[in-house]
Amino acid sequence: DAGVIQSPRHEVTEMGQEVTLRCKPISGHNSLFWYRQTMMRGLELLIYFNNNVPIDDSGMPEDRFSAKMPNASFSTLKIQPSEPRDSAVYFCASNSDGLTEAFFGQGTRLTVV
């Protein structure tokens, strides 16, 4: 099992540009989570999908952020336009229904200059 796969691992972009982060969950998992991690705020949940449907997007900071899950094996998190304060590590995690743990991808380190 390859685990949760995220791309790119690192992204440096200029303020105002569009950024798209990608995630492939573990096969068979039907819940997917996007988190953002900063030193100041820790690991914040941005959005949660279940069976490809967004269930809770209350953590999405602004309308500049959007997320999609067109099928069970792929999700994107898009920031348009990006701002320096969006600089953080973005993690994707997945799990199967139930009460078990979430498995994390390696993260995407985003730097907006």
Partner 1 sequence: QKEVEQNSGPLSVPEGAIASLNCTYSDRGSQSFFWYRQYSGKSPELIMSIYSNGDKEDGRFTAQLNKASQYVSLLIRDSQPSDSATYLCAVRARTYKYIFGTGTRLKVLA
Q: Footprint of partner 1 on this chain (CB under 8 A)?
A: 31, 33, 35, 41-43, 45, 48, 50, 55-56, 91, 93, 99-107
CB of 30 to partner 1, least distance (A): 11
CB of 16 to partner 1, least distance (A): 28
Q: What are phi and psi of 111, to 5 degrees?
A: -125, 120
User: Which C-beta is closer to partner 1: that of 71 or that of 100?
Assistant: 100
Rounded to an integer, what distance in angstroms lies between the CA atom of residue 61 and that of residue 58? 8
User: Which C-beta is closer to partner 1: that of 74 or that of 104?
Assistant: 104
Tokens, residue 24 = 């492939």
CA angle in degrees (0–180, nearest 5) for 3-79-8: 35
Rounded to an integer, what distance in angstroms lies between the CA atom of residue 16 and that of residue 39? 23
CB of 68 to partner 1, least distance (A): 19
User: Which C-beta is closer to partner 1: that of 63 or that of 101?
Assistant: 101
CB of 81 to partner 1, least distance (A): 27
Cis peptide before 8 (omega within 30 of 0): yes
